[in-house]
Amino acid sequence: MSSVQYVNSKAEVLRKYQALAMNINAAAGLMEVMKSNLGPKGTLKMLVGGAGQIKLTKDGAVLLSEMQIQHPTAAMIARSATAQDDIIGDGTTSNVLLIGALMKQAERLLAEGIHPRVITEGFELARKEALSFLDTFKYQQIDKAVLINVARTSLISKLTPDVANQIIEIVVDAVQIVQVPQKPIDLFMVEIMHMQHKMGAETELIRGLVLDHGARHPDMPKFVKKCYILNLNVSLEYEKTEVHSGFFYNTAEDREKLARSERRLTDDKCQQIIDFKRKVCEKNGYGFAVINQKGIDPVCLEMFAKEGIVGIRRAKKRNMERIAKACGGNSVNAVEDLTESDLGYCEVLREYTLGEEKYTFIEGVQNPTSCTILIRGPNEHTIAQIKDAIRDGLRAVKNAIEDNCVIPGAGAFEIATSVHLSKFKDSVAGKAKLGVQAFAESLLVIPKALAENCGYDVQETLLQVTDEYIKHNIPVGVNVNEQGFVAPIANGIFDNYCSKRSWLNIAPTLAQQLLLVDEIMRAGKQAGGAPQ
């Protein structure tokens, strides 16, 4: 009887080898589920929700976050893998595969009587050596061509080639637009909009903004060339007093006077905007648009329409900052003392109607530091798939710029590190070298999965690639187009440095912790404090 059962008679306990077997089986099971998704030739998974919703995806982060995982160890592995995706944007599937491979290698050593502590010491030595080797494996010539290749490597594994090839340059251009020297890249300045319309390959980059609402008066212009934009955060609607009050009158004329005086405050604000528009537009004939974060009531909309002003009300707060960054000008909180420097500018402001939805396109802006990626797709599934891929692609390009280096892909780093660790183990004393060798063999799970998903003979492909690397000592990876090896640098196959670094920190550390678990107890407290 376990000691914890003396304290809690209802406790469920798995002792030493049962606990290790449970953890190893969970890691290996999750690895088998995810392995077929890896790489550009990976297969899709169909997720079916409780209400019959269907989602097709090969993105590891989407799978792990939406799958219902009940096994506690598998759920822990899934959380650690999705944590990397939240921070870096890539490496989810690789994390699951490496943890599973490490646990399977450890199972073989445990069967031979090696203590888990010895295995974990070998894993830790190998992890530190792999991180040191990673710094020598970097490729540091970062230019637009390399960024395009980074985006291609990220997107081609998540989308069909025709859609991915269309989006690659869009993603790179979007990141370069929002990049401001001496400041961190803020990807929130890239607005991702979608329209259920046309095909996924017609997704485009708007060097400006797309708002998901239009003008609120039928007589307002639908297309304006050379347009000033007033970015406003002022209420232009009649508001009741904040305290409870009543007005008393004797005649109908008195009531009209009271009603006019109540409206005067709002009407004066509208008139000030109209006077300002006349002042700045009479000399050059430019158009004028008011984009207001707060409301514009029907009377003000009528006044704006008569003056030819486009009035858009209740714009989203996040768009107000983007408008200032894309079009220039300032976000204004009062209509008094407006100056021309407060105005933004665009070459074209147009309204587009799709069914019952209205969209406002703000295009032709000067020196934008914000932009919009407009996703088009025939159905919600395609749009969701493209949206997830674009988010990963944006972060991949951002990471490459901030790291100022990339890592050759196609499994080249894993093969090179495995060969390096096989040599490094000779300098390790004692049984820990068995852990180092197990780590080296575990790394090969990535190139093995790439070869398997292409339908190749795994062992033959792996031997070809490894022999080529040992022979010439240059990065070589698995060729997914024809069986054999490929030079990733020459073919533009690159992974993120920070993704590999995070991967080498998260996966081995979690595997070590799982190996050192010698007892699993279901004897914790529930949220209410009562024992389970």
3-state secondary structure of 159: coil
**Tokens 């080797």, residue?**
133
Rounded to 5 degrees, what angle do the CA atoms 184, 189, 195 make?
150
Q: Where are the beta strands (DSSP E) in 297-430?
A: 309-312, 331-332, 344-354, 357-363, 371-377, 406-408
Residues 6 or more apart whose CB falls under 8 angstroms from that of 135 comprise none
**Tokens 């780590």, residue?**
439
Task: Give the H/E segment covering residue 494.
Answer: strand 494-496
Structure tokens at 388: 């997830």
3-state secondary structure of 408: strand
What is the spatial distance between Cα 506 and Cα 500, in angstroms, rounded to a whole number?
A: 10
What Cα–Cα distance (Å) separates residue 282 from each residue in 1, 131, 274, 362, 422?
91, 65, 12, 22, 77
Residue 203 is among the residues annotated as catalytic for this protein: no
Cβ atoms 435, 120 nearer than 8 A: yes
What is the spatial distance between Cα 335 and Cα 320, in angstroms, rounded to a whole number?
A: 16
- Sign of torsion over alpha carbons 337, 339, 341, 342: positive
3-state secondary structure of 13: strand
What is the spatial distance between Cα 150 and Cα 396, in angstroms, rounded to a whole number?
A: 7
Residues 6 or more apart whose CB falls under 8 angstroms from that of 106 comprise 24, 116, 119, 438, 511, 515
- Per the residue annotation, which of 392, 417, 466, 495 is the catalytic one? 392
- Per the residue annotation, which of 92, 372, 461, 466 is the catalytic one? 92
- Per the residue annotation, which of 57, 59, 82, 382 is the catalytic one? 59
What is the spatial distance between Cα 81 and Cα 85, in angstroms, rounded to a whole number?
A: 7
What is the spatial distance between Cα 348 and Cα 208, in angstroms, rounded to a whole number?
A: 10
Largest CA distance in the chain: 104
Cβ atoms 515, 116 nearer than 8 A: yes
Provide DSSP, 29-85: HHHHHHHTT-STTPPPEEEE-TTS-EEEE--HHHHHHHS---SHHHHHHHHHHHHHH
Residue 495 is among the residues annotated as catalytic for this protein: no
Residue 93 is among the residues annotated as catalytic for this protein: yes
3-state secondary structure of 531: strand
Backbone torsions φ then ψ of 460, nearest 5 degrees = -65, -45
Residue 392 is among the residues annotated as catalytic for this protein: yes
Backbone torsions φ then ψ of 145, nearest 5 degrees = -60, -40
What is the spatial distance between Cα 73 and Cα 514, in angstroms, rounded to a whole number?
A: 8
- Per the residue annotation, which of 57, 73, 93, 153 is the catalytic one? 93
Question: Active-site residue numbers?
Answer: 59, 92-93, 392
